[in-house]
Amino acid sequence: MDDVHLKRLVWRSRRGLLELDLQLERFVAEVLPTLDDAALAEFENVLLLPDNDFLDYLNGKADCPDERLKPMLARIRGAQQ
Amino acid sequence: MAIPVRKFDAVIVGAGGAGLRAALQLSEAGLKTAVLSKVFPTRSHTVAAQGGVSASLGNSEPDHWHWHMYDTVKGSDWLGDQDAIEFMCREAPNVVVELEHFGMPFDRNSDGTIYQRPFGGHMSNFGEKPVRRACAAADRTGHAMLHALYQRNVRANTQFFVEWMALDLVRDTDGNVQGVVAMEMETSDIYVFQAKATLFATGGAGRIFASSTNAFINTGDGLGIAARAGIPLEDMEFWQFHPTGVAGAGVLITEGVRGEGGILRNAQGERFMERYAPNAKDLASRDVVSRAMVTEINEGRGCGPNKDHVLLDITHLDPEVIMSKLPGIREISIKFAGVDPIKAPIPVVPTCHYQMGGIPTNYKGEVVVDGKPVSGFYAAGEVACASVHGANRLGTNSLLDLLVFGKSSGNSMIDFIKAAPKDLPELNTADVDRSVARVDRLNNQKNGSNVHEARAAMQRTMQAHCGVFRFKDMLAQGVEKILEVEQMVKTTEIADKSKVFNTARIEALELENLIEVAKATMISANARTESRGAHVRDDAADTPERPNGRDDQNWLKHTLWHREGNRLDYKPVNMNPLTVETIALKTRSY
């Protein structure tokens, strides 16, 4: 994935909900630079989630119906510990 | 270098509730409308609004817009303009029903009407007893509102410019607004969006404080731009705070935690609320708790390396109770404070939530300076000060504000655009050049200050000197300090000079907007020597002549901060509603 694409994902990690900004801040700083292209594509798909759903999945308040997104959601969750 | 110009009938900056509502009005009237947004519209901060939108529909029990108006005036501590408040409360049922027709999935009663729930401060019959006035879509009212409005805008052919940041206003030599200079984030290319009418709907600037519930995007861009263009900012000393946000993060800890037995402690482990409220202790009202927390921090009994917060202790509660009665709190604390509240207390601090002040407008959404509309310039939503919230906002009136004033400003713009000459006038390139020079300064700065350090210095200064409870001496020092921070902001330097999605450049430009809001807030707060609504000072005490420290004789007026020379002037509160009698001054008590 090229630099343009990566930097766009960094910006798109700015969200409408503070709780998402905070959780993505650490992930973007620490994990994003280590991801391979396949993982970056997964992250890009996760960023398309509506903010409320995204937060509910991260908080375990709801189960993400899309199995393909679950591994990346778990990695974002893992970056908070 | 010639800057490319894109031409529209209307340009709107910001795609939250107010911007989308206004855009819809304009696009459905067949006008060529551009909406600029830093983020995808449905990820605007409106998405965070959960509580609902108020309207006196009376679906569950009798209600009346006049009662809603009374509650709003009282909530504003009589600083709200009564013409704008009457307009908003009368329009509320119309805009809510309209939104329902746009596809908003409101919660419903069994008879199909919109379900309404009770909410703090909503009363029937002029403050007599609670009434159900809040309309909601589960706990996702803001989210559902954005989606309904966005879909409708797509259908109406509104042109969205997503991931664009507005930089500066363009005004002609007579002060008429001609549009905005904006930057495309993907390329850092700068364009002018020229239009017959320009609306700012950029939201609030809660990020001026160290502890804020606001998303990172809430950097007061419209306020900074307006201030640089010579537009004063109104009533910026008034900010709504919540007593307990996680220190360093801003995520709220519900007040229910204290209801379940949570205890506030200072650095010595002392249960300090016993001294401030011997009977109610930790269950004292929000104002009393906030004041006590800030006093403890201010007197050196705060916790942590910077002694800048207190602790909320629930370690004595049965873990079963924490799990069952306070779901989510444990997770928030672990995630955002790194603390398991079953084992250790949660660091908390009063946290900024909502900005009551803003760009001065009337109820038509026209920006008003020196008693006259600024030709071609409009503002709506949290960035604007109509003023319906006055010194404090009534819950659920923020979403209502978006809908009512988004629509009314859209209508005002339609009338203005239709009356304007067909061809756009010649552009004032001096303003464009100034904006480009501002970005060039940042790009070429050497030996400058660090953006993150300057922002942190601003946030710490605002939090410590101009927070939920304010001290005379701290405010005076705060003015000096924030002017020092301003000098840092003037020389910010970015290491990354690249063009593509350069988040560092965007953050530096956002900081130039935040600092204007910070100065306006500190200087306005320092000057207002009374307590009113959300602005509470230690030297404006509760006396029989001045209940709660409110001084109507000297301070029943709106502050106007001018960037040039940090000058303040004042304008009277409009106490004359449109059709009903004045809601007369009274002590505000609940």
Task: Tell me which residue range forms the domain holding A73.
Answer: 3-78
Are B197 and B343 members of one domain?
A: no
The pLDDT, as a whole number, for residue A1 is 67
Task: Tell me which residue range forms the domain holding B311.
Answer: 243-350
Question: Cβ(B384)–Cβ(B406) under 8 Å?
Answer: no
Q: What is the DSSP string of B422-472?
A: SSPPPP-HHHHHHHHHHHHHHHH--S-EEHHHHHHHHHHHHHHHSSSSB-H
Residue B546 identity: R
Of B46, B500, B503, the CB nearest to A4: B500
Cβ-defined contact of B186 to A3 (cutoff 8 Å): no
Residue B105 lies in a domain: no
Are B19 and B87 members of one domain?
A: yes
Mean pLDDT check: name the lowest of B246-255, B376-385, B486-495: B246-255
Cβ-defined contact of B250 to A10 (cutoff 8 Å): no
State the pLDDT confidence band at B323, using cuts at 50, 70 and 90: confident
The pLDDT, as a whole number, for residue B1 is 62
| B207 interfaces chain A, CB cutoff of 8 Å | no
The mean per-residue pLDDT over the stretch B31-49 comes to: 97
Cβ-defined contact of B215 to A3 (cutoff 8 Å): no
Residue B115 lies in a domain: no
Query: Of the candidates B350, B379, B403, which is a domain's last residue?
Result: B350
The pLDDT, as a whole number, for residue A3 is 81
Are B422 and B438 members of one domain?
A: no
Burial B494-505 (b: 16+ CB within 10 A, else e): beeeebbbbbbb
On the question of pLDDT at B509 being above 90, the answer is yes
Cβ-defined contact of B249 to A52 (cutoff 8 Å): no
CA B438/CA A25 separation, integer angstroms:
28
Are B43 and B158 members of one domain?
A: yes
Tell me the β-bridge partners of B135. B53, B116
The rounded percent of chain B whose pLDDT value lies above 90 is 92
Among chain B residues, the shortest Cα distance to A12 is held by: B39
On the question of pLDDT at B475 being above 70, the answer is yes
The larger pLDDT score, comparing residue B300 to residue B587, is at B300
| B48 interfaces chain A, CB cutoff of 8 Å | yes
Among chain A residues, the shortest Cα distance to B141 is held by: A52
Q: What share of chain B is helix, strand, coil (3-state, %, to 5)?
A: 40, 25, 40
Are B30 and B148 members of one domain?
A: yes
The mean per-residue pLDDT over the stretch B74-83 comes to: 97
pLDDT in tens, B185-217: 999 999 999 999 999 999 999 999 999 999 999
Mean of the per-residue pLDDT values of chain B: 96
Domain count, chain A: 1
Residue B411 lies in a domain: yes
User: Could you say which residues from 245 to 274 on chain B have a Cβ atom under 8 Å away from some Cβ of chain A?
Assistant: 249-251
State the pLDDT confidence band at A4, using cuts at 50, 70 and 90: confident
Chain A residues lying within 8 Å of B249, measured CB to CB = 18, 22
Cβ-defined contact of B43 to A23 (cutoff 8 Å): no
pLDDT in tens, B276-299: 999 999 988 888 899 999 999 999
Of how many residues is chain A composed?
Answer: 81
Chains A, B: CB contacts within 8 A come to 79
CATH of the domain at B24: 3.50.50.60
Mean pLDDT check: name the lowest of A57-66, B22-31, B231-240, B472-481: A57-66
Give the Cα-Cα-Cα angle B418, B154, B385 (nearest 5 degrees).
60
Residue B135 lies in a domain: no
Cβ-defined contact of B163 to A3 (cutoff 8 Å): no
Closest CA to B491 of B420, B441, B535, B424: B441
| B501 interfaces chain A, CB cutoff of 8 Å | yes
Among chain A residues, the shortest Cα distance to B250 is held by: A18
Q: Which residues of B are marked as active site?
A: 286
Cβ-defined contact of B215 to A18 (cutoff 8 Å): yes
pLDDT in tens, B138-147: 889 999 999 9
CATH of the domain at A47: 1.10.150.250
pLDDT in tens, A21-70: 999 999 999 999 999 999 999 999 999 999 999 999 998 889 999 999 99
Cβ-defined contact of B48 to A11 (cutoff 8 Å): no
State the pLDDT confidence band at A81, using cuts at 50, 70 and 90: low
The mean per-residue pLDDT over the stretch B497-502 comes to: 94
Of B42, B331, B500, the CB nearest to A59: B331
Q: Kindly report the number of other CB atoms within 10 A of residue B233's CB atom.
A: 28
Torsion B426-B431-B436-B439 (CA) sign: negative
Are B312 and B339 members of one domain?
A: yes
Chain A residues lying within 8 Å of B143, measured CB to CB = 50-52
The pLDDT, as a whole number, for residue B326 is 83
The pLDDT, as a whole number, for residue B254 is 87
The mean per-residue pLDDT over the stretch B3-22 comes to: 98
The mean per-residue pLDDT over the stretch B297-320 comes to: 95
The mean per-residue pLDDT over the stretch B220-236 comes to: 98
pLDDT in tens, B88-104: 999 999 999 999 999 99
Chain B residues lying within 8 Å of A23, measured CB to CB = 335
Domain count, chain B: 3
On the question of pLDDT at B447 being above 70, the answer is yes
Q: Identify from B38, B43, B163, B340 which residue to disrupt to test chain A contact, counting A C-beta atoms within 10 A and taking the largest count.
A: B43
Residue B396 lies in a domain: yes
On the question of pLDDT at B590 being above 80, the answer is no
CATH of the domain at B500: 1.20.58.100
Query: Of the candidates B368, B392, B426, which is a domain's last residue?
Result: B426
Among chain A residues, the shortest Cα distance to B16 is held by: A16
